[in-house]
Amino acid sequence: MPAASGPPSGLWLPLITPFRDGAIDVASLRRLLRHYADQPIDGLILAATTGEGMTLDEDEVEQLVMLTAQALQEGGVTRPLYLGLTGSDTSRLAATLARTANWPVDGYLIASPYYSRPSQRGLLQHFGALADATGRPIMLYNIPYRTGVNLDTATILRLAERPNIVGIKDCSADTLQSVELLHRRPRDFAVLTGEDALFYGALIRGSDGGILASAHVHTREFAALRPTILSGDALRASMQWRELSDIAKLLFAEPSPAPLKHWLWRCGLIDSPEVRLPMTSIDDALAAAIDRRILRSKVEA
């Protein structure tokens, strides 16, 4: 698989991991990949939060990567493929980078250490050690409401000096911090939002795109938003977003990716909405609301 060229941009999909009877559902995974091969996405991320990566064992992560890479190759698809990683043990993560060195991935999305809440100096050294452990591109993942620690702008800018730290998935939930980062970042350092409900605002402020679970559905419409904004057509962009804004609310009304898996199951893209504990299936009221939204989409198509 060819390496990604240039910093990440556009619409990236943090692919769900389909399960059936406790195992990775290979048939559904292949169906998903065939479907998204025809969609205007700019990159794929495996085994991240939406992919329930923390519930996958090492063998399953390898299986997921190999199946995905094979399907992309068979379909003649050359989009970059990143592997999601997280952990609070720097040496163990460095060992994971070494173990996956020959895997067919183009880069990594690496979240801040969770629970341990290191200082900014600790974060700088943590990500610096990981950058030293691989020659592949790394996207930082800043999501303090999950990890308990925030990568501040000064630390991000220091890390951006490293040639293989190419961007960040920004879920800081702090608009002022996001704006400051966009103003101060190097030209070749990408900022992609991971906040689905804030996608429009992030693009208006100058973000390079998004890593959006919601873009599993209405993918073309999500992908069309950034080109419209870049063209300067603010009215059309506002109208496009108005048609999409309720989707993120539905898909995050209960912990992700359970609502999303229900939607994909109802549309026949996966054979089961199964999630792994501690995630649970969605309640009947949300299921009915999603079913109504799917029906509306079919009527409007």
What residues are labeled active site? Answer: 141, 169
Q: Of 39, 58, 38, 36, nearest to 47 (Cα)?
A: 58
10 Å CB burial of residue 265 (0-12, 13-18, 19+) is middle
10 Å CB burial of residue 6 (0-12, 13-18, 19+) is exposed
Tally of helices (H runs) and strands (E runs) in the chain: 12, 10
Q: Cβ distance 168 to 150 under 8 Å?
A: no
Cα–Cα distance for residue pair 243/252, rounded to 1 Å = 17
Distances (CA, A) of 258 to 137, 139, 250, 264: 30, 25, 11, 10
Q: Specify the amino acid at residue 21.
A: D
Terminal Cα distance for the chain, rounded: 35
Cα 55–chain centre separation: 16
Look at strands 81-85 and 43-46 and give their pairing. parallel
Read off the tokens for 35. Answer: 């479907």
